[in-house]
Amino acid sequence: MDEKFRKLIVKTCDNASLGAIFSMLMLIGLTLFFLFAGLQITFFLILALGTGIGAYYISQRFKGDFKGGKYWATMIKDRPENIVWIKPIVTRHTVGYVFTLYKEKKFQFLTKDRLAITMTVDSEADQKIFYEGIIKHLPHAHIGYSPDMDSLYRYSPADLIDELKKTGEYYPVGGFSV
């Protein structure tokens, strides 16, 4: 794997992981606060239970975000076939739903075993490195988004590419150029 692409993956995935870890620590802290307050007022025990369940749900739903950049770089190097879908995401930050202040360009890697991580790749230089890297290292992965693809992935991530081939909606990264 070329060094620029590896560094970009490690950096962007580590940033995503830090955000996930910080959020989880906040939820755990809130749960502990509600537990402590629940010793005085019973209503807070219900809130503690709710935030505790929420923290558990988030930890299970976003397992890939907690893995870190080295994990994802190693997966791309050693098990690239495990990443089956690269989902582009554009987040618009607006004022009053009218004026766009700025856009964030993100990409999400989704795997056969239901792991996912969302990386912010904003600068044009980073996007060029990212595109060149995925074309070289993940040519089999599908890129794009539609609600149908989302349903297929949720139903069976391991069969996503085969199902997309059957429907004629398979767009492998290797078919694109920078």
Residues in the chain where the model's pLDDT stays below 70 = 1
pLDDT the model gives residue 55: 92
| Cα atoms found within 13 Å of the Cα of residue 106, Cβ hemisphere only | 16
CA distance to 38, 83, 128, per residue, from 141 (Å): 49, 6, 18
3-state helix, strand, coil in the chain (%, to 5): 60, 20, 20
Kindly state the tokens that stand for 108. Answer: 């999400």
- Judged by DSSP in three states, 121 sits in coil
Listed residue (175, 173, 169) closest to 84, CA to CA: 173
Domain that holds residue 69: 1-178
Crossing angle of helices 3-38 and 124-137, in 10° steps, is 100
pLDDT in tens, 112-163: 999 999 999 989 999 999 999 999 999 999 999 999 999 999 999 999 999 9
Q: Give me the sheet containing 116-120, strands edge to edge.
A: 116-120, 99-111, 83-95, 142-143
Report the pLDDT value the prediction gives residue 174, as an integer from 0 to 100.
87
What is the Cα–Cα distance from 164 to 141, expressed in whole angstroms? 11
| pLDDT reported for residue 39 | 85
Query: Can you give the pLDDT at residue 65?
Result: 92
Residue 66: the pLDDT is: 93
Terminal alpha carbon distance of the chain? 18
Determine the pLDDT at residue 154. Answer: 93
> Nearest 5°: phi and psi at 128?
-65, -45
pLDDT at 158: 94
Dist. CA 123–CA 145, nearest whole Å: 22
Structural domain count of the chain: 1
